[in-house]
Structure 1
Amino acid sequence: MCGYNREICFAKGADVGWLKQMEDEGYKFYNENGKEEDCLKILQSYGINSIRLRVWVNPTDGRCGKDEVVEMAERAINMGFKLMIDFHYSDYWADPEKQFKPKAWESHSFKELVNDVSTHTKKVLIALKEKNIYPEWVQVGNEIPNGMLWPEGKIENFDKLSKLLNSGYDAVKDVLPSSKVIIHLDQGDDRKRFIEFFDNHTANGGKYDVIGVSYYPYWVNKNYKETIDNLMNNLNEYIDRYEKEVMVCEIGGEDTEVEDTYNMLKEVIERVREIPQGKGLGVFYWEPEGAFSWSKYKLSAWGSDGKPSKALDAFID
């Protein structure tokens, strides 16, 4: 336990779910000196101390499935990173616009779905534990303001959604009692989105340890200066209202606006770290290594030269 030593405890993280695929397809990573190097080692040199990995149930190409996640988790842990596992409960991307059931679960009753969540969660975490890998945090669902495992787990059926989430929570605690369970919604600056969700989850006996938020000013067509005060006011309110810790599980800025992204990251990191009593647990950049030249994703922190952009300097103390 690190108590209130924020320099040790505070998670400066990166979600690198694409990394294995990028490497397998021959993408080369270079450090700031132009020397080819392991991407994780490069991230570590920028102060990144935690890695987030998404897990899908039965992905058709095996990417982000159990075996790849265990392989990448072992690699990260052996390098000294802390670890977050992000369960999507889908065979592919799950986010506010899509929360599709895994194909193998499509015909299942609600009772079976509750069991599916438990079984799948335990299966992945047991595989990690067998490798002596103990994630600090486990996310039950990915960006779920509208629920998950539609249609049964939609927010219109919040009693069912809470049962699904609690099944995941209980499964985590059965295998890894000390891991903190995160429930994660997008648009962290939108107070109403979170209050309605967590009030309902609380009313239905919802269990969780941490409120996780995404913060992407780019996707709501605003500069971070317009929304960061809302984000921080909200995080502090969630701590008081629900007596939970908070974390920015995803953040990112446009790769062509490096200075602005750097400034946003630096301010968010500083302000989350300053939350009283260490209840702001950390900040994770989503796919910083996912260079546009490979991914066509506009919010990485990697240049066309295969090197990190200056935006990542924000993670260096």
Structure 2
Amino acid sequence: MRHATFCIIQLFVVSFLVISCASCESENQEENNNSENDSIEFYFGADLSYVNELEDCGAIYKDQDGDEKEVYSIFEQMGANLVRLRLWHNPDWTYYSNYSDVKKAIQRAKNANMKVLLDFHYSDTWADPSRQLIPRAWQSEVNNTQALGELLYNYTYNTLNELSQEDLLPDIVQVGNEINTMILQEDEENDPLDWQRNSHLINKGIQAVRDISGVRNKNIEVMLHIAQPENGLWWFEEATSNGVSDFDWIGLSYYPIWSQYELNEVHIPLSTLINTYHKKLMIVETAYPFTLDNADSANNILGEDALTNNFPASGQGQLDYLNQLYNIVKTAGGQGLVYWEPAWVSTNCFTQWAQGSHWDNATLFDHSGKATEGINFYTNAFDE
């Protein structure tokens, strides 16, 4: 009897210890999940959305020694710690930047030990300040804000849930891309901002991210992205006054050619945004030409008028621009800088407009596929 009682007590103690250890492990795991993004002081990012397509078109990438290498590895070895990827809802004009393509790209980023910023465009095509076209599948509900909000929520949640089932959840999610104008519009007329509609839709996207983050016990941060810092000043004032406040990051595109702020002035809006809203800030799009030469029949978007601060269109000028912008962002209190499409090199494939690349003179690889001096910007990560 005493032996049986002892065994029962022993079993109880062992069970208690197992449960306690499991609880501790769960708490530690939760703590790790909630702090995993906090371990990075500054994000050095690359938007590699085009890479899968370009490699299918025959693009090759070489390091600075001229050795051909896997492109994600080139960025990781240079110091990049974040990959940004765009996601279109259901594009019928391309096989890329859809769910299956993004899933493949996220896996490549994770294989290279880099964090992932997933950019929901909430459109079947490019979403930007000039157009925020609603996906065709949602067209019937364009004037039904409640129903449209549910569609947006379900799409965001289900996409992230599917990614989670393959351990491919992103670390940061953009709820929209360059959403200066009202999201999910019927045409390109850029209707005046109806904040009752706009805030409801944005908040439904944010809620979806928060909900999947809770269900999957992973800290996924939310970013709202506006093109050009001067637009961020009025947009975030209006957004927060209309109930859009549950976000972690202010994301900005900054191209001096399209901004009223020169490079030596851009610290003003950056500091203002950080100090006013007490959110983290990241430049999620910027670029600088390493040459003015064109490699193909697709006209280059960035030409001589894109040059700033007396930096020439050269690899060194590209690096000097990035290093100066990095120092400006960091001094202002920002925590990230992403180069937009550094791998969009020229190939025989076509864009919607022409054969080749409209960015071939502003990539971080020259016309032979060799990394330019500009890619050395990422080595700043080793000093963080």
TM-score normalised by length of structure 2? 0.75
Alignment of 1:51-66 (within 5 A): 51-60=83-92, 61-66=94-99
The alignment-based identity, stated in percent, is 30
* Distance (Å, rounded) in 2 between the aligned partners of 1:255 and 1:285: 13
Structure 1 partner of 2:252? 213
> Partner of 1:13: helix, strand, or coil?
strand
Give the equivalent residue in structure 2 for 1:200: 238
8 Å CA contact 1:96, 1:186 repeated in 2: yes
Question: For residues 365 and 331 of structure 2, what CA distance do their matches in structure 1 show?
Answer: 28
Write the distance in 2 (CA, Å) between the matches of 1:241 and 1:159.
23
The 3-state SS of whatever aligns with 2:375 is helix
Between the aligned partners of 1:246 and 1:155, the Cα distance in structure 2 is: 26
Shift of the 2–112 alpha-carbon distance from structure 1 to 2, 3 Å rule, reads closer
Aligned counterparts of 2:57 and 2:127: Cα–Cα separation in 1: 24
Q: Is the 8 A contact 1:272 1:281 kept in 2?
A: yes
Secondary structure class of the residue paired with 1:289: coil
Aligned position for 2:226: 185
**Amino acid corresponding to residue 122 of structure 2 in structure 1:** Y
Match of 1:176 in 2: 213
Which range moves more in the overlay, 87-96 or 307-316? 307-316
CA contact (8 A) 2:61 2:365 kept: no
Equivalent residue number for residue 295 of structure 1: 357
Deviations 1:64-111 (A, max 9, x none): 111111111012112200110000000011001111111111111222
1:52-201 alignment, distance < 5 Å: 52-60=84-92, 61-108=94-141, 109-151=144-186, 154-177=191-214, 178-188=219-229, 190=230, 193-201=231-239
Q: Which residue of 2 aligns with 1:283?
A: 337
Question: Is the contact made by 2:139 and 2:186 (CA closer than 8 Å) also made in structure 1?
Answer: no
Which of 6, 14, 18 is the equivalent residue of 2:50?
Answer: 18
Q: Hey, what's the Cα distance between the residues in 1 that align with 2:240 and 2:192?
A: 13
Q: 1:15 to 1:3 in 2, by over 3 A?
A: closer
Q: Compared with structure 1, are the counterparts of its residues 300 and 3 closer, same or farther at alpha carbon in structure 2 (3 Å cutoff)?
A: closer
Distance 1:33 1:229, change over 3 A: closer
Q: Is the 8 A contact 1:50 1:81 kept in 2?
A: yes
Residues 255 and 291 of structure 1, relative CA distance in 2, 3 Å threshold: farther
The CA distance in 2 between the partners of 1:64 and 1:250, in whole Å, is 17
Counterpart AA for 2:228: Q
* Paired amino acid for 1:196: W
What's the offset of the Cα at 1:154? 4.9
Shift of 1:165: 0.6
Q: Once the 2 structures are TM-superposed, how far is the Cα of residue 272 of structure 1 from its aligned partner? A: 2.2
Mapped to 1, the partners of 2:131 and 2:118 lie a distance apart of 20
Measured in 2, the distance between the counterparts of 1:4 and 1:64 equals: 28
More deviation in 118-127 or 81-90? 118-127
User: 1:305 and 1:265 mapped to 2: Cα distance?
Assistant: 22
Aligned residues: 305
What is the CA deviation profile of residues 258-311 of structure 1, one whole-angstrom value per residue up to 9, with x for unaligned ones?
3332111101112323344xxx22100001011245422243222111112111
Moved more, 107-116 or 12-21: 107-116
Corresponding residue to 1:267 among 303, 312, 324: 324
Say if 2:76 and 2:113, in contact at 8 Å, map to a contact too: no
C-alpha distance in 2 between matches for 1:230 and 1:138? 29
**Contact kept? 1:289, 1:308, Cα under 8 Å:** no
Residue 305 (1) aligns with residue 305 (2) = no
**5+ unaligned residues in a row in structure 1: which ranges?**
none
Question: Is contact 1:121–1:171 with CA below 8 Å preserved after alignment?
Answer: yes
* Residue type of the alignment partner of 1:96: P
Equivalent residue letter for 2:281: V
| One of 41, 46, 65 as aligned partner of 2:73 | 41
The residue type equivalent to 1:87 in the other structure is: F
Aligned-residue CA RMSD in angstroms? Answer: 2.1
Partners in 2 of 1:230 and 1:29 — Cα distance?
35
After TM superposition, which residue ranges in structure 1, 4 or more long, deviate above 3 angstroms?
1-5, 151-155
Structure 2 unaligned regions, length at least 5? 1-34, 292-312, 348-355
